[in-house]
Amino acid sequence: MDLELTTQFNDIILPTAWDIENNSPFINIDSGGLKVNYTDPDDNKAAIIRANYSIPSQCGIFYFEIKIINEGKNGIIGVGYCTKQNNKEIDDSIIETNYINNMLMPGQESKESELWSCGYHGDDGYSFCSGGSEPYGPTYGTGDIIGCYLNFMTKVVFYTKNGINLGIACNLPDNWKGILYPCVGFRSQNGSVEVNFGRETFKYSAMTNEDISKRSNNALALEYQEKLYYIMGGYENMLVNLTGELTKLLEKKQNNVLELGYRGKIFFIMGEYDKALEYLTRLLETEPDNITALKYRAEINYIMKRYNESITDLKKLLKIKPTDTWAMEAHKLVENS
């Protein structure tokens, strides 16, 4: 996926790399701007590195992934989103309040702070959000791929681990109007990560088009592929228009498997889970062994804390594909919830 592709939407500037100029002296970034290494010998100090650009105000949905190249000495790495705070003048002196170079990991600043951030931490599996924290998912370390999904429309943040959705972690404030940057925090000597803002295929298949569009090369599939590509740029209205087009097709043929699948996945990505369930269930009524529909319905039920329903779909999926790694890992996650 080439984020620099010239299109009619090239006025949108998306994060493409880490911010090389504004970072801690203990943060080393490779020449491509994607790989980061933390070298501070004092593990009591933390540093956060932000993306080179904030998420555009037009953005409805954004997703990125971090590969943990090396968890470092103690595995304290956090992935999430953060704001940016500039220097403040107090009593004619400059007080350094740069968010990049403080003692906090993503999500650990107090609720009274002007800042907002969230983070999923690898050493303990906790989700942090504006000073609060709670157990969230499994720990992670070297070799794992952690994804971070943000939906400005529903104000939801969730994370993924190796392509598995871990469920809703936190919510943006109701009146949120600020800007956010993808970020990663370190408090682990020799910790090293590499970011994927979409140049490579995501591990989390919901943010790719391969699981549905590979089944067809027709014009609708190509249009869907383009719409899904731009969902990270905030063109959710395009997706809404596409669902309208799909509705017309479904009116002509109520059980069109391809269109039901497209519509279910679009609503899933947009965070409209009830609508997604409606179309995925209709698809499964027509094609009971549809692997893609079973997968997304199981994931949605998990997000909605309907664990029994999620287990049922995952068991059926494993019966169809007994060695499916995604289904096996998802089944473990849901069983432990």
Are 189 and 40 within 8 A, CB to CB?
A: yes
CATH number of the domain enclosing 181: 2.60.120.920
Task: Say whether both 189 and 218 belong to one domain.
Answer: no
Identify whether 59 is part of a domain: yes
Task: Say whether both 22 and 89 belong to one domain.
Answer: yes
Identify whether 9 is part of a domain: no
Kindly give the interhelix angle for 291-303 and 307-320, rounded to the nearest 10 degrees: 160
Identify whether 305 is part of a domain: yes
List of E strands, 112-228: 117-121, 126-129, 132-135, 145-151, 156-161, 164-171, 181-186, 192-196
Q: What is the pLDDT of residues 140-180, one digit of tens each?
A: 999 999 999 998 888 999 999 999 999 999 999 887 778 89
Identify whether 40 is part of a domain: yes
The average confidence (pLDDT) of the chain is 80
Write out the H or E segment, with its range, that includes residue 29: strand 27-29
DSSP output for 35-98? EEEE--S-TT--EEEEBSSPPPTT-SEEEEEEEEEE-TTT--EEEEEE-----EEETTEEE---
CA-to-CA dists, residue 17 to 54, 127, 147, 239, 307, angstroms:
11, 24, 15, 26, 37
Task: Say whether both 161 and 250 belong to one domain.
Answer: no
Task: Say whether both 118 and 233 belong to one domain.
Answer: no
Task: Say whether both 186 and 226 belong to one domain.
Answer: no
Domain termination site, one of 145, 162, 196: 196
φ, ψ (nearest 5 deg) of residue 7: -145, 180
Domain termination site, one of 135, 162, 196: 196
Task: Say whether both 24 and 156 belong to one domain.
Answer: yes
Residue 325 pLDDT > 50, yes or no? Answer: yes
Q: What is the pLDDT of residue 276?
A: 93
Q: For 178, left (φ over 0), alpha (ψ -120 to 50), or beta?
A: beta
Q: What is the pLDDT of residues 223-242, one digit of tens each?
A: 444 444 444 444 444 455 55
Percent of the chain with pLDDT over 70: 75
User: Between these two residues, 239 and 330, which has the higher pLDDT value?
Assistant: 330
CATH number of the domain enclosing 266: 1.25.40.10
* Cα-based torsion angle of the residue sequence 88, 90, 94, 98 in order, rounded to the nearest 10 degrees: -30
Identify whether 246 is part of a domain: yes
* Cα-based torsion angle of the residue sequence 124, 126, 128, 134 in order, rounded to the nearest 10 degrees: -130
Task: Say whether both 180 and 221 belong to one domain.
Answer: no
Q: How many domains would you assign to the chain?
A: 2
Q: What is the pLDDT of residue 175?
A: 79
List the domain range (segments joined by +) for residue 64.
18-196
Of 172, 165, 132, nearest in space to 150 by CA = 172
Q: What is the pLDDT of residue 3?
A: 34
Identify whether 204 is part of a domain: no
Q: In this predicted structure, which of 23-27, 166-170, 306-310 has the lowest mean pLDDT?
A: 23-27
Task: Say whether both 262 and 181 belong to one domain.
Answer: no
